[in-house]
Amino acid sequence: MKIILATANQGKIKEFKSYLQGGQVYSYEEVLEPFEIIEDGTSFKENALIKAKAVYEKLSDKEAIVLADDSGISVDALGGEPGIYSARYAGDEANAAQNLDKLIKTLKEKNLSRTPAHYTAAIALVCDAGAFCVHGWMYGHVIDEKRGNHGFGYDPIFEPIGYDKTLGELDADVKAQFSHRSRALKHAKIILKTLKR
C-alpha cells in the first residue's frame, strides 16, 4: 500500500510516518515537484479534501492513496480562535514560532493563564475509489508560557486533559496515544482496510 501524505508540515510528516509504520509512506514533496495548494475551504474537512484532491490529481500512480491532514487549535475563551486559521494566526507568511508567540500574547492580554482548548484533525483520503474524511479531537488547556520542546506548533503550551505537563514536555509516544491526529487516523485505518489496500 503506497500512501502519499499531502502535507509539507515536517511535524505532521514525522507523526504520520511513525503512526503508519510498516506501510510505504512518502510526503508528496518526495514524489512530486513542489506546487502551491490554496486552502480556501471554510472547515477543516473542506481544507483536508482540497489538499488530498490536489495531490491525487498530480500523481501518475493512481493506485496510491493520498492522505491529507488539516488541523488546528481552538481556544474556547477566544471564540474558537485560531481554529482553521492556526497556520496563519500571525499572518499569511507567519511561521510556527510566530503563530505560537501570537497566541501566548493574546492569552496574556486577556489574563488567561490556563484556559480550555482543543485540537482538531480532519484527515482526508483520496484514491481511485473516491474521497473520504474522518476527524479526531484532543481536549485540554493552553497556558500562557512555553514549556518543553517536544512535538511541534502549539504543543509547548498545550496540556492534555489529565496532565499537568505540556505536549512539549511529554514524550511523543504519550501524544501518540490520544492525539487528534492518531484518533482520526484510527478511523482512517478502518477505511484503508475496507479498501483492502
Report how far residue 184's alpha carbon sits from residue 119's, in angstroms, rounded to the nearest whole number.
Answer: 11
Binding-site size for ligand ITT (CB under 6 A) equals 22
Catalytic residue among 40, 61, 69, 70: 70
Per-residue burial over 83-116, b = 16 or more CB atoms within 10 Å of its CB, e = otherwise = bbebbebbeeeeebeebbeebbebbeeeebeebe
Residue nearest to ligand ITT (CB): 153
Active site residue 70: yes
Q: Is 159 in the site for ligand ITT (CB under 6 A)?
A: no
Strands 114-127 and 158-160: unpaired
Q: Is 136 in the site for ligand ITT (CB under 6 A)?
A: no
Task: Choose between 70 and 159: whose C-beta lies nearer to ligand ITT.
Answer: 70
Q: Is 12 in the site for ligand ITT (CB under 6 A)?
A: yes
> 49, 28, 46, 50: which is closest to 37 by C-alpha?
50
Q: Is 160 in the site for ligand ITT (CB under 6 A)?
A: no
Q: Which three cell numbers stand for residue 135?
A: 476527524
Task: Choose between 95 and 194: whose C-beta lies nearer to ligand ITT.
Answer: 95
Q: Which stretch binds ligand ITT (CB under 6 A): 8-16, 58-66, 105-113, 129-137?
A: 8-16
Q: How far is the CB of 196 from ligand ITT (least distance, A)?
A: 27
Report how far residue 124's alpha carbon sits from residue 154's, in angstroms, rounded to the nearest whole number.
Answer: 22
Q: Write phi, then psi, for 165 (nearest 5 degrees).
A: -120, 155
Q: Is 45 in the site for ligand ITT (CB under 6 A)?
A: no
Which residue ranges make up the site for ligand ITT (CB under 6 A)?
7-9, 12, 39, 51, 69-72, 86-87, 96, 99, 119, 151-155, 179, 181
